[in-house]
Chain A
Amino acid sequence: MPEAISAQEATGGLSVRDLSFRYGAKTALDAVSLDVTPGCFCALLGPNGAGKSTLIALLTRLLVAPGGDIRIAGHDLRAAPRRALADLGVVFQQPTLDLNLTVRQNLAYFAALHGLPRAETPGRIDAALDRLGMRERADEKARALNGGHRRRMELARALLHDPKVLLLDEPTVGLDAAARQSITDHVHDLADQGLCVLWTTHLTDEVRDTDHLLVLHQGQILADGITGEIRGDTPLSDWFLSKTAVQA
């Protein structure tokens, strides 16, 4: 039986209870439950095919599971999808920029999709770009940006509507080491400022010892806790390999 979602969990952050999903006969997620509190950077670590992208698709309502509960900042995604999605920021694994539009046009389009008042939009865009040091690129076409800057722009966009929960699906794929470090550091800072962050990855070096760690493997949660406590004295990469290799 799924646990009831407590009042504390319902006030903020991200809560998932007993979430399962199948693609035909193949089980992608099997009774997954997790909690990420506000101000927490939670790394969802899993090998390729573990079910991370399916989980993100369910959390963003691109897919709907037949059962289970998802609450985003206290809003039930099934019963109140508008309010839940309004509090959710997402950076997808696939690039979602319109390369023919400028940075500003891309952000303005997103602002309208989220129903932000038109008068507020320019100010919000400037603030979001300032936070990521990209103000001077605002009028360039997205096509002119390198991979790292495109990612930063997607991050700026995901924060435009002041979400309470931020999902990032393998956001560092295809980036060089410096860009990866920069994005990882920035999102950790956002969590320190009170944002609830769920960051999916298969790269152990993106996870800090103080981060909340969830390990997803073959559609199930293998481990849930503080990274440093989970891995003990073993390097995280070795610990992760041993856990996922045994089950493979």
Chain B
Amino acid sequence: MSGFWGVCRAIVGREFLRFIHQRERFLAALVRPLVWLLVFAAGFRAALGLSIIPPYQTYITYETYIVPGLCAMVLLFNGMQSSLSLVYDREMGSMRLLLTSPFPRWWLLFCRLLGSTAISILQVYTFLAIAALFGITMPPLGYVAVLPGLVLGGLMLGALGLVLSSFIRQLENFAGVMNFVIFPMFFLSSALYPLWRMAESSPLLRDICALNPFTHAVELIRFLLYLQINWIALLWVIFSTLILGAIAVWGYDPARGLMKRKA
């Protein structure tokens, strides 16, 4: 068993070393949600009136509303970034090294997922700290309670990235897929506006938002930040993680997927 933990420690450690070497990536990942929080939210504060909806017990500012969505946005972008680096690794060959390890492939992929999730979470907490400096705070214990939600959300979005990376053959194809995945996922969710708002303009769009796993990751984070559990969101996120994880393992099965076509 020690070998299993050793390989996991090495893969997660490598992710951290890569992260340390890519400080620009860290800054970029922080600037994105901060621009949304400090510029976009300020602009839309007046336009978007919010009623009191769970988990909130009082009127909240729009900035406070979008913080959970922006936390999930960090997880989403990082999950995609990680899968982009997997496609890069495959083209560069270092993926071969990982996959010729004698350990089971699902374990190697899970460790890789764990590594990228850990880095995402570090970024989320940095974002929450900066938001707090600007006076956008959550209940103190909420910062601790949200951790399992961030882990689950990170794993789910990382697994989505793994699925994409297993089916994308070349780096050049990635940009298009990012546009078809990131933007619809983000905008068709409760990250920027509550679902009842969406229902006012289109019940169909609201239903799509309600099915979007990203919505549930956002809601899971939102409720945990206020020390509550949204059970439907929790189950939906777990279910999506398992399904996406299974597809990723299938996609990386040496008998199909990954390297079936010559690079």
Contacts from A to B (Cβ < 8 Å): 23-24, 53-54, 57, 60-64, 66, 81-86, 88, 90, 92-98, 100-101, 105, 108-118
A sample of 4 more A-B contacts (CB under 8 A), given A92-B93, A96-B93, A105-B17, is A82-B102, A85-B100, A113-B11, A113-B97
**Quick check: B21 and A100 within 8 Å, CB to CB?**
yes
Q: Which of B4, B17, B261 has the most CB of A within 10 A?
A: B17
Nearest residue, chain B, Cβ from A121: B6
Known: A96-B93, A100-B17, A101-B17. A85 touches B101 (CB 8 A): yes
Q: Which of B96, B101, B254 contacts A64 (CB 8 A)?
A: B254
Q: CA A100 – CA B7 in complex, angstroms?
A: 20
A to B CB contacts below 8 Å, 12 in the list: A64-B253, A64-B255, A92-B97, A95-B92, A100-B21, A109-B13, A110-B97, A111-B10, A112-B6, A112-B9, A115-B103, A116-B6
Nearest residue, chain A, Cβ from B20: A100
User: Which residues of the partner chain B approach A83 to less than 8 Å between Cβ atoms?
Assistant: 102
Q: Which of A63, A98, A113 contacts B259 (CB 8 A)?
A: A63
B147 at the interface (CB under 8 A from A): no
Q: CA A112 – CA B259 in complex, angstroms?
A: 24
**Quick check: B3 and A115 within 8 Å, CB to CB?**
yes
Q: How far is the CB of A93 from the nearest CB of chain B, in Å?
A: 8
Chain B residues 228 to 263 lying within 8 A of chain A, measured CB to CB, are: 253-255, 258-262
**Quick check: A23 and B94 within 8 Å, CB to CB?**
no
User: Which residues of the partner chain B approach A64 to less than 8 Å between Cβ atoms?
Assistant: 253-255
Q: How far is the CB of A110 from the nearest CB of chain B, in Å?
A: 7
B138 at the interface (CB under 8 A from A): no
User: Which residues of the partner chain A approach B259 to less than 8 Å between Cβ atoms?
Assistant: 57, 62-63
Q: Taking chain B's interface residues, is the majority helix, strand, or loop, or is none over half, making it mixed?
A: helix
Nearest residue, chain A, Cβ from B100: A60
**Quick check: A82 and B96 within 8 Å, CB to CB?**
no
Nearest residue, chain A, Cβ from B261: A23
Q: CA A117 – CA B96 in complex, angstroms?
A: 22
What is the interface size of chain B, counting residues whose CB is below 8 A from a CB of the partner?
34
User: Which residues of the partner chain A approach B258 to less than 8 Å between Cβ atoms?
Assistant: 62
B151 at the interface (CB under 8 A from A): no
Q: CA A93 – CA B97 in complex, angstroms?
A: 12
Q: How far is the CB of A120 from the nearest CB of chain B, in Å?
A: 11
Q: Which of A94, A100, A105, A108 contacts B96 (CB 8 A)?
A: A94
Nearest residue, chain A, Cβ from B263: A94
Q: CA A111 – CA B21 in complex, angstroms?
A: 22
B198 at the interface (CB under 8 A from A): no
Q: CA A150 – CA B21 in complex, angstroms?
A: 20
User: Which residues of the partner chain B approach A66 to less than 8 Å between Cβ atoms?
Assistant: 255
Q: How far is the CB of B226 from the nearest CB of chain A, in Å?
A: 40
Nearest residue, chain A, Cβ from B91: A94
Q: How far is the CB of A67 from the nearest CB of chain B, in Å?
A: 12
Q: How far is the CB of A166 from the nearest CB of chain B, in Å?
A: 13
User: Which residues of the partner chain A approach B102 to less than 8 Å between Cβ atoms?
Assistant: 81-86, 114-115
**Quick check: A92 and B96 within 8 Å, CB to CB?**
yes
Q: How far is the CB of B245 from the nearest CB of chain A, in Å?
A: 21
Q: How far is the CB of B119 from the nearest CB of chain A, in Å?
A: 15
**Quick check: A109 and B93 within 8 Å, CB to CB?**
no
Q: How far is the CB of B13 from the nearest CB of chain A, in Å?
A: 8
User: Which residues of the partner chain A approach B261 to less than 8 Å between Cβ atoms?
Assistant: 23-24
**Quick check: A115 and B260 within 8 Å, CB to CB?**
no
Hey, what's the 0/1 contact readout for B170-196 against A, CB within 8 Å counting as 1? 000000000000000000000000000
Q: Which of A62, A93, A97, A113 contacts B103 (CB 8 A)?
A: A113
B98 at the interface (CB under 8 A from A): yes
Q: CA A162 – CA B99 in complex, angstroms?
A: 19
Q: How far is the CB of A104 from the nearest CB of chain B, in Å?
A: 12
Q: CA A93 – CA B91 in complex, angstroms?
A: 12
User: Which residues of the partner chain A approach B18 to less than 8 Å between Cβ atoms?
Assistant: 98, 100
Q: How far is the CB of B78 from the nearest CB of chain A, in Å?
A: 19
